[in-house]
Structure 1
């Protein structure tokens, strides 16, 4: 069709070339596809189309002109929609539809078609003008939204049905009333029942598992008990995810608005995962941009939960390398977030959690934030989990006014990014550590404080001591692998290159002396690995015997962390020839001297709180009474059975535990039991004193305001 005589020019009108050229140029320039069909010709063929139409469909001009537009339809085109278009053309009326068409290369696309009749002077339809728009992306988004809504609807229906069944079983006499309850109330009852009925036995399972681990078990029984304990932890984690998700879905999520310290919150998260990261040989670090406000107002609990989930996932899916947390606050143009930002205006905080883990494909990423969805089926088989952690993160972030997204490369790692909206705090939060810091203590920091970062191996059979020492050394700046017995330490040294080894001297399978001798008998550089003994045993004759086994240094508990770090760095970076690092012994009080020692060393615990963070330390302290009672029971049973070596091992563990956590009276009496382990009469005299002190210390640890009965 000549461009100088466009089809919409009224027949017989005086030509106006500039106007025709202008209109043709406009039609060609528009982003929408435009096509014109002639209903006066057989089969209503196309007589004109613009460039956008050709680009959208992939056809050339000569392949389009003269054909009925039905050539765009495919086998998956809805017949009813096609029939609607034909009916509108036959009736000479306008029609607007969305129809699935196919391009020349066969790829489908959703076409938003708007068809309008153009009438001639005689009142008859002369042309049909159609506009075409590719709306495939919006169709896909709508479909995904419908799928998500359908999934949530199914979840709500299944939860409601289960709640109905449980309620009928418990309240058969009131079925009529239960049937009248609405879905929201039924879900609330189900949530409360799940929380109580499952958490109560889970607490017992976990507690009994811990107690079982402290009894005399053979290797197979201990493996069974460890599996039981690990499975209980996994089940409790799944339960927590399901309950959190159900609460969010039921609309019961509420947010706090309180002032909190952003660095302290991030540091608490880091401290919480340092042990787990170190156990896999991973680096875990965090940084906050200098111009980011330190004190903000928002919901610290929910922010901590998001970071917890993301860091936990990063460690789970990373086998080498590390995880890095970054925090900053992008200021609006011309505004200083730290000072010029008005306290009442929202402030955006941005977070990144980057790992060097297994990564994901684009297809896996697209499914990642769906409920009960993991990257693929093999993920849940290998790593476990409910697939709810990230959808909970997404809901929490959105509730805090932000968004969350992820970029990832298979085999190279992932970066999770999210934002939240907060406000500036009016003043530093009450109880901020910086306001009450002892002047002699170093400020808390997220960066390592050691001059060098070393790879260390720790062998310690007590779970809490192992957690404490690993956390502290990692906090100082080292990478720590932790094992629970001397044989595992020997195997680890044989398989890996460590800068130094720390050994507790009383361990199962192989004790510290035997493990040291085994390492010294190895071939090659492994035999020259620096070894530091750490023990609650301060008797000079025992110390000399430990050093004679091949130790480079011997330190007593409670550990002086600065001194320990200096010893490790010196041994790992300098010459070891003939070097022995002395450690001053601690006198053991006797008679009534124990009462002069405090139940709690407040300075020691303040140092631990600064180094570990309140949440980490409080969690460890809550485990202290149960662990102390377990070792006390072991001493009592060994005394009754005339097993002095078991008395020594249990007392040694208890002394080290008590010393490390700042309970000096318990530590002193436990050391005395350790020193007199082969004297039944002395142990019988000391045991009631130890029982009283353990009980008083436990009360004071669990309830600091009680005074412990001291």
Structure 2
């Protein structure tokens, strides 16, 4: 948008102000003529009475102290009084002066004071009725001060001409005003359209920025998590093990921050969807608890978990998002508690109709600083924070609330400053009664089996880390490496592989294009080879594009090696 463009709205406002004062300029001129004409006809009582009206309109035409509506109300009252005064003096033979009452009535219509207009009309009816009543009984109003001169026709035509001129001028002025309003609306509409296009560009740039940043951060983060997984299989000293856990915790925290920003954007845009799968509820929550245990103990806190015995073994839901919600609340509880206890209670109840749905209830309590009343009012709004956090970007609770709403659950809290806070979470989850396999265990026969794997990625660090991870868990796996989609396509044509782990964005040829070409091969065995996307793109559109190209599944970086192994196993045994 051009910043040096003149502000058309200011011009329009000036025009409106000019047209508003134009009515009083015309009234001033009109009453100057009326006063002169009345003196010419020697109607001195009415002529002298018009001079205050003339002076009033002259003042209004020059002053900007009052609004148009305020000026109009005063003008209506003055005109009504003046016309009534003239009618009383010359009423019987001068009764066509009633025509002049059109002027204040028109003024009231212009400023939309309809109720006042009805009052004015009522006053006129009472005034005329009173005069007619007195004339009926012989009072002969209007003839006492009237001299013997017939001015009826001349004055009548004069008044009619003045009223017609006023109405024509008023119509012209209002027509111009409407024209200026339309021009102003067109200008504003153009400005709004330009703003809309600018916002659309900003939205596209924002989405592009988040996608690029997510991809660039997730790629090295995947290597860090992979190295952490490799080091866990080595014999380490207690201090090294502790440092490894800190590195793992920090990488998970960095990933949470990246996810928070992306999730907040998706939730705001209404583009967020949940990813449902079967998972062990107890194992997931216990892992979260263990993940934070060391941090709580280092602060000298009692860190407790209490799980009910009737929790279902497996449920169907978005495990990652439930973990994200609970992890955020546990992190906050530990961070804002300097002494005392942080406790997580897990329980719930089955649906009254059947045991196919379980209402998960999680309570996280602490004895920390609590939440003051001012913050409590906006706790689930974006960037709400106590300003003492060193690890929070103020999005965690906002996103947690949005995720829980998507799951048709609820979140609430109770807090007393300097005593502690309790968060209550309720999420309905379908129960899985017959799970096909233990998702948390890898049988030895699979780990010892010979699996031919083709790794495709342009990042050499990621390739080195993933190769070592696979070799650690799949002892007899045979791994081949390709650095782009074209190399992968040629290797698939020449050799046999059990599965392909394919990056998406690569030089020469990307993973999506390579997958499409593989699916078009003439060899039925080669064209149906399982291809799993290993991508740092987490957008719904990008993931859908992977699946539409023919890829069998997607794993987003950074990933847990156990997640990838389970997926490989599912394709190997199918």
Please confirm whether the aligned pair reaches a TM-score higher than 0.5, indicating the same fold: no
Q: How does the TM-score come out when normalised to structure 1?
A: 0.31
Determine which structure has the larger helix proportion and give its number: 2
Larger gyration radius, structure 1 or structure 2 = 2
**TM-score normalised to structure 2 length:** 0.38
Higher relative contact order (CA closer than 8 Å, sequence separation 6+)? 2
